[in-house]
Every structure is written in C-alpha cells, then in structure tokens.
Amino acid sequence: MNADENVKQLVAAKGWEFKEKDGSGLFFEKNGERLIATTQMWTKEYVLVKIPHY
C-alpha cells in the first residue's frame, strides 16, 4: 500500500470523505469543511505527510 492510500484510510477513519488528488495534495470534505493533506517524497523509502489538525 502506498502513502496516499494510508493517508486516505487514516483521514477517512475520522469521518472525512476523499474527493480528489491534485499533485501532492489529497482533498477531503466533511460537513462543508475542506481538509488538504500533502505528501512529499523525502527519500526512496520515506514519505513526509502533513495533515492539518482534523
């Protein structure tokens, strides 16, 4: 499983619905709010993930 799929599962577990991916951003919505999680390949084996407080 890749990092994007892991992020989708983690955020979905908090009730957010995945809407789309644009570049390194994963866009989610819940109750009219929008959350954007970003990923950045750090090395071949590590990906940095930034998720605002949700």
pLDDT at position 53 = 80
Give all strands of the β-sheet with 47-50 in edge-to-edge order: 17-22, 25-30, 33-41, 47-50
In angstroms, the CA 46 to CA 27 distance is 21
Q: Residues 30-51: pLDDT tens digits?
A: 999 999 999 999 998 899 999 9
pLDDT at position 44 = 85
Is residue 16 over pLDDT 70?
yes
**Structure tokens of 32?**
């009219």
Contact 24, 40 (CB under 8 A): yes
Please give the model's pTM, rounded to 2 decimal places: 0.86
